[in-house]
Structure 1
Amino acid sequence: MRKGMRIVLCVALLSSLTFASEQFAMSDADRAMYEELLENNPADMLLAHGSELLEELGGESALAKYLGVSEDALAPYLAGFPRYIVKFKMVVSIDQMLQGMMHDSGQKPYTLKSSEMVNLSSYVKSIANDQQINIDINANEYMKEAYALGKVVFETKRGARGLSCLSCHNQSVIGSILRTQPLPDISAKGNASAATWPAYRMTKSALATLQKRFQGCMNNALLAVIPLGSKEMTALEVYFTEEAKGATIALPGLKR
């Protein structure tokens, strides 16, 4: 794409951003629905299903044993994902870890995009509710590399519009409105988005993981969609989670 055309497209996108105002962020009907769902989040039922799926794998005790930690240490350990797992020889997200657990227990792993895996992994992450995100990107060379790659993915402009994740998540536009939604600050100093995913999306009537949300953003921005569980996608989750380090995990989240 010619430089001039790219500039026009970027200006068009940014001109669609309005300064944060409740009247633009959500309609009265959406706001009423949001307030109702805060009290009765449909995702609670999906996480209950995830709890049943974990019981089929042996429950929290089996999960703790698989991860090599005590049951008392399970919640803070889960608050440190994505993390490098020696037996996998790679940095993995919670759902990828669960795929490994299923495989090692003789079961066919759920695919990352399946509703079963979304429910299971969402419940497992919710075990860490009220814990602070404690990801450690300096734990080893693999985590350092994952963070560095995630930062590159976050900041690299690509696609037909010449946009990056940073285009909509930098200090100059945070709080502005795009597609009727305020653009969030991904850092712990803002609303610590990583601490509230997986979340129930009102517009999709479905529970979604953080990586699935990344894919939705990429699709809307006309970027080539990075596959779930890929090295690049997991690295992006590492970067995003590090930015929210110290935030308190509160799942399931509720998003428009």
Structure 2
Amino acid sequence: MRQTVNAATRKVLAILLGTVAGALFTMNAFAQKTTEQGIQEYRDMLADGNPAELIELRGEDLWKKQQGPKNASLEQCDVGMGPGKLEGAVAQMPRFFSDAGKVMDIETRLVHCMVTLQGRDVAEITKKPFSSAGEKPSELESLVAYIYAESRGATIKVPQSHPEERASRSRGEKIFFYRAGPYDFSCASCHATDDQRIRLQGLPNLTKPEPAQAAFGAWPAYRVSQGAVRSMQWRMYDCFRQQRFPELKYGSQASIDLITYLGVKAEGGTMQATSLKR
């Protein structure tokens, strides 16, 4: 009888030990998974149904829609590849435009085309470039999403052949490392060191090519937490806000210079926008 009990007990203990060992292995494997990996898995699960696709379609309609006093569409807008040519264009922006006499990113170039081709008022166009929570996307957000979709898969190569382009990159680098505000922050405070994070969000080291390529190539992005497409101009604006800097004006020289600097650092990367973010 004792031998029977002992055999049964040993069998139960073996089962329990096996279960505990399996649980410990699972817990250890889970612990080794980084937060970034978990967030990336979350993005991957949602990627097939990215809501940005609907906004891209709206942007295409707006691109072809006749508007303004001149009753014209934006189909002849030159964003660097020739009138109306969009494929691969944003992978080579910001860039110098001779007709405007300055370096422009895609958003300031769009505003330029709305004014020159459609006869619209710049103050009215830029009055509210970013949508608020629960609102439909702004016209600029929709157009940006569409234009970026046309460059998906293109290789990043922000030009530096013109003196103004090189000057823009140089100013952008200075802004990136400039410390100011009540917390003595700079862009580099968050984005010039490896393995930093804020809450659950990893902070890429944008002074290195690979993280810069991944970051630059992923904007604009659909922010799930906000239910909106957010452009690169918004990204610069929000970073200034988090640093407690003065409000960054939409399309300002400082914003374009920062984007130019980041784009040059990201050379050789691949455009993935409009991507999906938390």
- In the alignment, is residue 81 of structure 1 matched against residue 103 of structure 2? no
CA distance in 2 between partners of 1:70 and 1:63 (Å): 5
- In the alignment, is residue 121 of structure 1 matched against residue 144 of structure 2? yes
Q: Which residue of 2 aligns with 1:142?
A: 164
CA distance in 1 between partners of 2:265 and 2:40 (Å): 28
Residues 150 and 232 of structure 1 are in contact (CA less than 8 Å); yes or no, is this contact kept in structure 2?
Answer: yes
CA distance in 2 between partners of 1:103 and 1:83 (Å): 19
Residues 77 and 83 of structure 2 are in contact (CA less than 8 Å); yes or no, is this contact kept in structure 1?
Answer: no
Q: CA deviation at 1:220?
A: 1.9
Counterparts in 2 of 1:240 and 1:32: CA distance versus 1, 3 Å? closer
Residues 185 and 192 of structure 1 are in contact (CA less than 8 Å); yes or no, is this contact kept in structure 2?
Answer: no
One-letter code of the match for 1:133?
I
One-letter code of the match for 2:64?
E
Residues 134 and 245 of structure 1 are in contact (CA less than 8 Å); yes or no, is this contact kept in structure 2?
Answer: yes
CA distance in 2 between partners of 1:87 and 1:218 (Å): 30
Q: CA deviation at 1:120?
A: 0.4
Q: Which residue of 1 aligns with 2:154?
A: 131
One-letter code of the match for 1:228?
Y
Structure 1 counterpart of 2:228, from 206, 214, 217: 206
Specify every segment of 5 or more residues in structure 1 that has no aligned partner in the other structure, as ranges.
1-19
Counterparts in 2 of 1:74 and 1:24: CA distance versus 1, 3 Å? closer
Q: CA deviation at 1:33?
A: 5.4
Q: CA deviation at 1:225?
A: 2.7
- In the alignment, is residue 34 of structure 1 matched against residue 56 of structure 2? no
Q: CA deviation at 1:126?
A: 2.1
Counterparts in 2 of 1:175 and 1:45: CA distance versus 1, 3 Å? farther
Q: Which residue of 2 aligns with 1:69?
A: 82
Residues 215 and 226 of structure 1 are in contact (CA less than 8 Å); yes or no, is this contact kept in structure 2?
Answer: yes
Q: Which residue of 1 aligns with 2:62?
A: 53
Residues 128 and 249 of structure 1 are in contact (CA less than 8 Å); yes or no, is this contact kept in structure 2?
Answer: yes
Residues 94 and 125 of structure 1 are in contact (CA less than 8 Å); yes or no, is this contact kept in structure 2?
Answer: no
CA distance in 1 between partners of 2:266 and 2:50 (Å): 23
- In the alignment, is residue 167 of structure 1 matched against residue 179 of structure 2? no
CA distance in 1 between partners of 2:111 and 2:237 (Å): 20
Counterparts in 2 of 1:179 and 1:221: CA distance versus 1, 3 Å? farther
Q: Which residue of 1 aligns with 2:204?
A: 184
Q: What is the count of residue pairs matched by the alignment?
A: 230
Counterparts in 2 of 1:167 and 1:130: CA distance versus 1, 3 Å? same
Q: CA deviation at 1:193?
A: 0.6
Residues 74 and 113 of structure 2 are in contact (CA less than 8 Å); yes or no, is this contact kept in structure 1?
Answer: no
Q: Which residue of 2 aligns with 1:7?
A: none
SS in 1 for 2:76: helix
SS in 1 for 2:184: coil
Counterparts in 2 of 1:86 and 1:24: CA distance versus 1, 3 Å? same
SS in 1 for 2:57: helix
Q: CA deviation at 1:141?
A: 1.2
Counterparts in 2 of 1:22 and 1:90: CA distance versus 1, 3 Å? farther
SS in 2 for 1:207: strand
One-letter code of the match for 1:80?
Q
Specify every segment of 5 or more residues in structure 2 that has no aligned partner in the other structure, as ranges.
1-30, 67-71, 131-137
Q: CA deviation at 1:36?
A: 3.6
Structure 2 counterpart of 1:240, from 262, 266, 275: 262
Q: Deviations over 1:26-57 (max 9, x none)?
A: 8x7x7775344212111111111111111125
Structure 2 counterpart of 1:152, from 163, 169, 174: 174
Residues 93 and 106 of structure 2 are in contact (CA less than 8 Å); yes or no, is this contact kept in structure 1?
Answer: yes
Q: How does 1:213-252 map to 2 (within 5 A)?
A: 213-252=235-274
